[in-house]
Amino acid sequence: MRRQSLGFAIAALAALWAAPAAAAGCTLGAPGETVRVAVGATGRSAMLHLPEGFARTRPAPLVLLLHGSGGSGKAILENSKLAAAADRHGFIVVAPDAGIPVQMGFVWNIPGVPTVTGRTPTAEDADDVAFLKGVIDWLAANRCVDRTRVYATGLSGGGRMSSWLGCVAADRFAAIAPVVGLRAGNPLASDPRLPDPATCRPDRPLPVIAFAGDADRTNPIQGGGAGYWQYTMATALARWADLDLCRAGPVQRDIDAKLYEIRYSDCRAGAEVTGRITRGAGHVWAADNDAIWAFFARHRLR
């Protein structure tokens, strides 16, 4: 009897010790601030921004922000100004460094296509898809993020990487928003003007919004360019519309004198596919951050 009472006492104390931790919720960083955090036991780090007014006991939406080739998480967070949008709309931003170091920064491992260095990643290179999934899991384990509202965006090589996540990890992302980097799989070896359907097989319809400039000479919307690029933005949009089983579109309309939109709608499971192109814009963050969030906010994993 005494042993049973002791067991109950220990269990009660354990519950008391556990309760404050559970009630504390997310303990990473501070609302309204940006900090560098070590991501679990991966040996890698990321910039983390919690929005102003973040309620630690209420998991928030997460936007994964991926830097361009040769860049870093710190640089893209500064250049994109996405943290300010996070403060306005209440989402968390995490901006990791890619897994392949190069002279000036890092590049992402997209299997089967060369990086900007001309080298195609091998099995010895970091598995960035696994790492980015781990970032989400780590933040969720720390009670910071809502798994049903996880999104990916990125600039240039980061846009291509967010496209790749849509192809191979659509079950983890509610929507993607590549910036000057929309792809729908690797270029087809026999005809690089087309995407290779074998390299992009999402397991669910995925909402996509992409941003670009029609004067981009690095990743031209007209196609061509480097070996990792080749097919046009219109081809990429059409392929995503096919994958999402969209029944309407493409419809093109001017948003204003400098911006037009190509949109597919009536897609399966509420998905939508949209491209926004800025006339005269080059290889820059050609995106409206509030428009990105307005699109993301319409979608969550079911």
pLDDT at 103: 85
Is there a contact between 267 and 205 (Cβ–Cβ < 8 Å)?
yes
Tell whether the model's pLDDT for residue 94 goes beyond 90: yes
Structure-derived torsion over alpha carbons of residues 200, 203, 208, 212, reported in degrees to the nearest 10: -10
SS3 call for 96 = strand
Q: In the block, which residue shows the tokens 């359907």?
A: 197
Which residue from 103, 119, 100, 65 is spatially nearest to 228, judged by alpha carbons?
119
SS3 call for 133 = helix
pLDDT at 196: 98
Query: For 254-289, how does the pLDDT look when each residue is reduced to its tens digit (9 = 90+)?
Result: 999 999 999 999 999 999 999 999 999 999 998 999
Query: For 5-26, how does the pLDDT look when each residue is reduced to its tens digit (9 = 90+)?
Result: 333 333 332 333 333 344 479 9
Domain boundaries, the chain: 2-297
pLDDT at 179: 99
Average pLDDT over residues 140-169: 98
pLDDT at 65: 99
Whole-number Å distance between alpha carbons of 196 and 201: 10
pLDDT, the chain, mean: 92
Tell whether the model's pLDDT for residue 40 goes beyond 50: yes
Query: For 182-237, how does the pLDDT look when each residue is reduced to its tens digit (9 = 90+)?
Result: 999 999 999 999 999 999 999 999 999 999 999 999 999 999 999 999 999 999 99
Average pLDDT over residues 65-72: 98
The CATH-assigned architecture of domain 2-297 is 3-Layer(aba) Sandwich (3.40)
Query: Confidence band (pLDDT; 50, 70, 90) for 90?
Result: very high
Between strands 145-155 and 60-66, the pairing is parallel
For residue 198, with 0-12 CB atoms within 10 Å meaning exposed, 13-18 middle and 19 or more buried, which class applies? exposed
